[in-house]
A and B are shown apart, each in its own frame.
Chain A
Amino acid sequence: MSKSLLGKFLFVLMLAFVLLIAACSDGSDDDSSSDEEGNEESSENEGEDEEEEEASGEGDQLYSIEDFSPTTANSGEPIEGGELTYGLVTDTAFEGTLNWAFYSGTYDAEILNWFDESLLGYSNEYRINDEGAATYEVDEENSSITFTIKDGVKWHDGEPVTAEDWAFAYETILHPDYDGVRGTSAGFTRLLGYEEYVSGEADEIEGIEIVDDQTITFHYDRLTPSLLTGGIWGYPLAKHIFEDIPVAEMSSSPEVREEPIGFGPFKVESVTPGESVTLSKFEDYWRGEPNLDKVTIKTINPSTAANAVETGEVDLVDSFPADQYADNADLEGVDWLGMIDQAYTYIGFKLGDWDAEAGKVNYKPEEMKMGDVDLRRAMWYAVDNSEVGEQFYDGLRWNGTTLIPPSHPEYHDDSIETPTFDPDKANQILDDAGYEDVDGDGFREDPDGEELVINFATMSGGDVAQPLANYYMQSWERVGLNVELVDGRLLEFNSFYDRVGQRGEDDPEIDIYQGAWSVGYDVDPTGLYGKEALFNFPRYESEKNDELLAEGVSEEAFDTEYRKEVYSEWQEFMVEEIPVFPTLYRSIVVPANERVVNWDITVEGTNTRYSEVGVTE
């Protein structure tokens, strides 16, 4: 079987072919990159000189979320009988639990939005308004809220949506056999008779009063501002359909998975499990007939999302990987929409652990490595988050300041001064606090002269996770702090949360960690920073913190101005205490095909975008 010369030649030929394929596809890149090489020498002394950002290559065009509009630019008239394809950007299947009471995945929620909706409309301030299918009236004296469902609100099968359906949703979610994750927001727990119903002592929930078919009153033990900002469950459950199904079987029933029902602008025609859903116009939709005739929802792989929009395979997508934006900013025929995301990334400091018996945090800064607030502050000064946002995310993520992100402009206080990149200051703080390099190894020891190694936990996943972690560690090294990765590597998602303490078993090896939180409609941070919150991973508590958090959901806080003051003070207090510090605020950027009109990704837009969206060709 000896190979002749020809065989070898062929092999080389094929190899050349492989190379050729590659070379063809990068042709466009060659021109753009040639002019950067001159700057190369200067890019070695990283980070020291902020002026250097000009030096880097093709990624150096910066974007700002301010320049994006959350609505489509096309102002044409939608055509009759239009059809649209909506992409769910994911490399896994969607779960297919197509009911608001039972879903848990975001992709299911994206599908649900097309055919079912909340009776409550929301404003861009995340507060209930009267734009939804029900109007509301608050009775402060009796601590109750009354909702009236508008006329002509019908399920897809023609039955009217009633107060009974709404109450049925509450009864189902609070039922002991219910297997979903809802039922813990203020709208449930503050209802009169909540405890009795949940424990099985009562068959009905005392606080729900069905006045007539279209009117329902919820009675609470007291009112809190959270009720009006997402605390109230607004999704009815079609009683005439689900009545006879045992609660435990509802989530796997065909009424949820195969032929789901709602009262939104579109009806579900067919579900290909995990892959796609087709919907058709619901002519009796209460806001009036939708613009589109047919909608197809299907999953597309994140690595191909941009191309799918460019080629028109999909018209809209639910989300888009932020770090791929710059590469695709100039796609032809694509309109980019954007707005500030309700989320922030942060660095957290472990200041205690979880006391499972007491069900609260065990704050013990004196025993913890990170217990010294000066050390924490110095670490904040040592990192350049603006640079991180610009270099890794092309400006689409930017320096975070407080723990209420600017997606909530009412409550985000941008006047608060927070530490920004200043290594000299960081060094100074550390020197003053007694962190000095005693043994001359280049790293500081703690004030007692003991070696200080800070263990950093961060999650893998996401394109830049590793370089980002490395960047932070390098920054801290520059001010003489020895920070090492826990286990010497990024932690996989599940073990990260286990070890940070999602089950209350905090790993003592972790001193600091990087995490991210998305923020709900309501800004109340008690679920993340309250002393009884398991998700309070820093395990921080203080009297003032407790006070402010309680004040923020008090009855006085029904007054928005007062609530703003409380939360301003809280944000400022967190900047002083630094149990965590925010690193980056984020933005949402999604591509839309240019033929799409009336697509609005804001909160207010949620009310109407599905019925009004159309295509112009």
Chain B
Amino acid sequence: MWKFIVRRLLITTPQIVLLSAIVFILAQLMPGDALTGLIDPTVKQERLEELRVQLGLDNPWYIQYRDWVAGIVQGDFGRSFIYKMDVTELIGQRIVNTIWLSVVSVFFIYAIGLPLGIISGRYNDRLIDQLITGYTYIGFATPIFIFGLIAVWIFGFVLGWFPTGGSVAPGLDPGTLEYYLSKIHHVLLPALSIALIGTVGTVQYLRSEIVDTKQRDFIITARAKGASESRVYNRHIFRNSILPIAAFFGYEIVNLINGTVLIEQIFSYPGMGNLFLESIVRRDTTVAITLVLISGIGAILGALLSDIILSMVDPRIRIK
């Protein structure tokens, strides 16, 4: 098992190096640079040119790449041109919010998805199943940003139940109860938006799993032995059907980290996705590259996690 993990990690190293080089070159190819946004008649262009030299923006890409890699080896991811602070610190501030949003979303995805999937599977083709299937149909076809926009409109503005931007109310001291309550209040609406749409796959999957499992021989045997219906569901069917879902847990998280880009934008939620779009538009390349790298590494770890879970729950898959 450990061998497997180590080997997987070894394979990923060249992947990350390749990814970083590709992104770095792409970032260099983008028109403009971080100082383009400072065009202003009251700021002299000579000053901007001096700054370009000072920041090394004038060097060819391979020199910049070399400097950048040399920095990373020493744990220095460079400095944001826009925020004038270390990239690690800047991303550190934002990644917390994104992880928090993802965790809450995942919680809701399963909190909504599992019961609905089980009910739908157990009572398939009855009224309740029709309702749930109807919901998954709509959910599947609704682009998340439309859903998010309508949610922010209705619950944020018309009803005023939720804040419409930010991650926490201003002026609260970190560590106090109020602070955490405010954090939850801010994350609830975006997370629910993600979850209500994102859980659709889980519901559908679980439903079809259960419907399938119901007709399997061992279930029929269990019933024949006189096991109660709820016992059949809780002990046999659910356990059997939940395994694949658990196995995709890692992928789910990865998808969320990537997918929060849209939701963070709609809810003005200061996370990584939001920062990424900004750094692309404003050509804050060090930040953009680091964010892509982090997401790549996150994806690798997520995939690894899923494989490990899969191997644990399903002994048929042997890990070499």
Among A14, A181, A273, the residue within 8 A (CB) of B47 is: A181
Which A residues lie within 8 Å of B51 (CB)? 179, 181
Tell me if A278 and B39 are in contact (CB < 8 A): no
Does A308 sit within 8 A of B, measured CB to CB? Answer: yes
Among B32, B44, B171, B268, the residue within 8 A (CB) of A300 is: B268
Known interface pairs A181-B51, A276-B166; A95-B82 also in contact (CB < 8 Å): yes
Tell me if B165 and A299 are in contact (CB < 8 A): yes
Task: List A residues 1-41 near B (Cβ within 8 Å).
Answer: 1, 3-4, 6-7, 10-11, 13-15, 21, 25
Which B residues lie within 8 Å of A499 (CB)? 31
Which A residues lie within 8 Å of B55 (CB)? 179
Chain B, Cβ-Cβ closest to A300: B165
Which A residues lie within 8 Å of B240 (CB)? none
Q: Count chain A residues whose beta carbon lies closer than 8 angstroms to a beta carbon of B.
A: 68
Tell me if A275 and B86 are in contact (CB < 8 A): no
Tell me if A251 and B84 are in contact (CB < 8 A): yes
Q: Which range contains the number of B residues in contact with the other chain? A: 35 or more
Tell me if B150 and A95 are in contact (CB < 8 A): no
Instruction: Write the B277-320 contact mask toward A (1 if CB under 8 angstroms, else 0).
Output: 01001110000000000000000000000000000000000000
Task: List B residues 24-43 near A (Cβ within 8 Å).
Answer: 30-33, 36-43
Chain A, Cβ-Cβ closest to B153: A25
Tell me if A277 and B83 are in contact (CB < 8 A): no
Known interface pairs A270-B171, A275-B170, A304-B165; A494-B134 also in contact (CB < 8 Å): no
Does B270 sit within 8 A of A, measured CB to CB? Answer: yes
Task: List A residues 171-211 near B (Cβ within 8 Å).
Answer: 179, 181-185
Give Cα distance in the complex from A269 to B274, angstroms: 26
Closest chain-A Cβ to B255's Cβ sits at a distance in Å of: 24
Does A309 sit within 8 A of B, measured CB to CB? Answer: no
Chain B, Cβ-Cβ closest to A10: B134
Closest chain-A Cβ to B7's Cβ sits at a distance in Å of: 40
Which B residues lie within 8 Å of A527 (CB)? 41-42, 44
Instruction: Write the A471-500 contact mask toward B (1 if CB under 8 angstroms, else 0).
Output: 000000000000000000000111101110
Does B155 sit within 8 A of A, measured CB to CB? Answer: no
Tell me if A299 and B166 are in contact (CB < 8 A): yes
Does B138 sit within 8 A of A, measured CB to CB? Answer: yes
Give Cα distance in the complex from A105 to B84, angstroms: 11
Give Cα distance in the complex from A7 to B128, angstroms: 10
Chain A, Cβ-Cβ closest to B265: A91
Does B85 sit within 8 A of A, measured CB to CB? Answer: yes
Instruction: Write the B68-107 contact mask toward A (1 if CB under 8 angstroms, else 0).
Output: 0000000000010011111000000110000000000000
Does A595 sit within 8 A of B, measured CB to CB? Answer: no
Which stretch of A45-53, A128-136, A432-440, A514-522 is in the interface?
Answer: A514-522
- What is the interface of chain A, defined by CB distance below 8 A to chain B? 1, 3-4, 6-7, 10-11, 13-15, 21, 25, 91-93, 95-97, 102, 104-105, 179, 181-185, 230, 251-252, 257, 269-270, 272-278, 296-301, 304, 307-308, 311, 313, 492-495, 497-499, 502, 517-520, 527-528, 533-535
Interface pairs A-B: 10 shortest CB-CB = A494-B32, A276-B170, A10-B134, A495-B31, A278-B171, A184-B44, A534-B45, A520-B42, A301-B268, A92-B278
Known contacts A270-B173, A278-B170, then 10 further A-B pairs from the complex at CB < 8 Å, ordered by chain A residue:
A7-B130, A184-B43, A185-B42, A276-B171, A298-B165, A300-B165, A313-B164, A493-B32, A494-B281, A494-B283
